[in-house]
Structure 1
Amino acid sequence: MATEASSSDSMQAQLQQGGVVGGVLLAILGLLALVTPFITGLALSILLGAALVVGALVHVAAAFSAGSARGVVWQVILGIAYGLVGISILANPLLGLTTLTVLVIAFFAVEGIVQLVWAVSGAGSPLWLGLSGAISLLLAGMLLVGFPATALWAVGVLFGVDLLVTGISMAMHGRTQESATTAEAPAETMG
């Protein structure tokens, strides 16, 4: 029994340590993305293009297992659409990056409008929803005013910020778990 508990504690400590290390690595990648937002954006665009090409192959392969002629046709149509979009993004990653930026602008605009409507209707916490909605609309407006130049940096910066924040939160969560485990261990051995 004692070896099982010891083994479990050791595994938990390794997982917590892995969370801290993983968080630090994500934070470092986030900083690199923030320093090189254009390269990060292009890499994401190329990754999207490659994923769409793989999706095209999956749809074409699925056409062979479609039960009906109509299913075959739809799978082939989807495969062709995925393939054309994926290949066009791979052929011109800057076009893909521009498209991603337009999607980010649209997302921020829709998110801001929805949050402002919720705030006005009194749902949730109106102050925080309204503030979040206003910030989202402000971001959408800033990106739109500077478009197409914002396509050169916006996606990379947003991705970098996300990686940085996620990495820091993972590392802090791992550290908190380590502290909690260390604080509990003496109490368990005394009882």
Structure 2
Amino acid sequence: MTTYDGSSRSRAGNLSAPPLWVCILLGIVMIAAGFLVLGDVVLVTVISTMFIGWISIAAGAFEVIHAFWTKGWGGFVWQVLLGILYIAFGAVLVSQPVVSALILTYVLGLLLLISGFVRVLLGFSHWNDAGWIMLLSGSFGVLAGLVILTGFPMTGLWVIGLVLGVDLISHGIAWLTYAWRPTARTAQRN
């Protein structure tokens, strides 16, 4: 019979938890980066769009190269076409970052709206299993989607940067919370 103690939950596999100072430093750096991003969300939106474009170009190139490595797979043509599509998409994002940011923001608004509606429906259908959490999450998704779509095209200039900044700050707060949880402090003492 195997028994588990509470301290093993803080580890993934055999990896040990990071030192306390690393968690604190990571949290502070991410929060600072988040506030820096929030300082100019339009610039960060354009930079993020170009970054997504370059990543798409690299992924497309790898997809085409991979198609030639695995010719016997049977999906050679589809893999090459997919790679070319990635490269073309990335080239558009890099060459027209402002227009691309508008398009990405519009798609994000639609996805938030649709996924929010789905979560609201799931919340009602699973009400007995803490469905109110899903309902609340879905309501925020619908609200965020509506804010993006009703303010379009102006929201396209700042939403991606705002989301990135808020995500960095919340991730930094999560690291600080992780650092100061009681099990982390007792593990550091041992």
TM-score range, shorter chain: 0.7 to 0.9
Q: How far apart in 2 are the matches of 1:72 and 1:14?
A: 43
In the TM superposition, 1:3-152 aligns within 5 A as 15-68=19-72, 70-123=74-127, 124-152=129-157
The equivalent of 1:180 in structure 2 is 186
CA deviations over 1:43-75 (Å, ceiling 9, x no partner): 110110000110121012112112348533222
- Alpha-carbon offset, residue 23 of structure 1: 1.2
Q: Distance in 2 between matches of 1:14 and 1:127?
A: 34
Whether 2:149 is the aligned partner of 1:156: answer: no
Q: Distance in 2 between matches of 1:13 and 1:145?
A: 44
**Distance (Å, rounded) in 2 between the aligned partners of 1:29 and 1:144:** 27
Deviations 1:103-124 (A, max 9, x none): 2212211221111111221343
Instruction: For 1:168 and 1:148, locate their aligned partners in 2 and report how far apart those are by CA, in whole Å.
Output: 31
Q: 1:43 corresponds to which letter in structure 2? A: I
In 1, the alpha carbon distance for the partners of 2:68 and 2:130 equals 51
Aligned residues: 173
Moved more, 119-128 or 76-85: 119-128
Runs of 4+ more than 6 Å apart: none
Bigger Rg over Cα:
1
Native 8 Å contact 2:49 2:93 kept in 1: yes
Q: Gaps spanning 5+ residues in structure 2: where?
A: 1-15
The code of the aligned residue for 2:150 comes to V
Q: TM-score, normalised by structure 2?
A: 0.82
Does structure 1 conserve the Cα–Cα contact (< 8 Å) formed by 2:20 and 2:185? no
Structure with bigger helix share is 1
Q: CA 1:71/1:131 → structure 2, altered by over 3 Å: closer, same or farther?
A: closer
User: How large is the Cα RMSD of the aligned pairs?
Assistant: 2.1
% identical aligned pairs: 25
More off after superposition, 164-173 vs 69-78? 69-78
Matched position secondary structure for 2:168: helix
Q: Deviations over 1:74-102 (max 9, x none)?
A: 22211211111111110011122112212
Query: Structure 2 vs 1, CA of residues 20 and 144 (structure 1 numbering), >3 Å: closer, same or farther?
Result: same
Shift of 1:132: 2.1
Q: Which runs of 5+ in 1 are unaligned?
A: 1-11, 186-191
Give the Cα separation in 2 of the matches to 1:13 and 1:144: 42
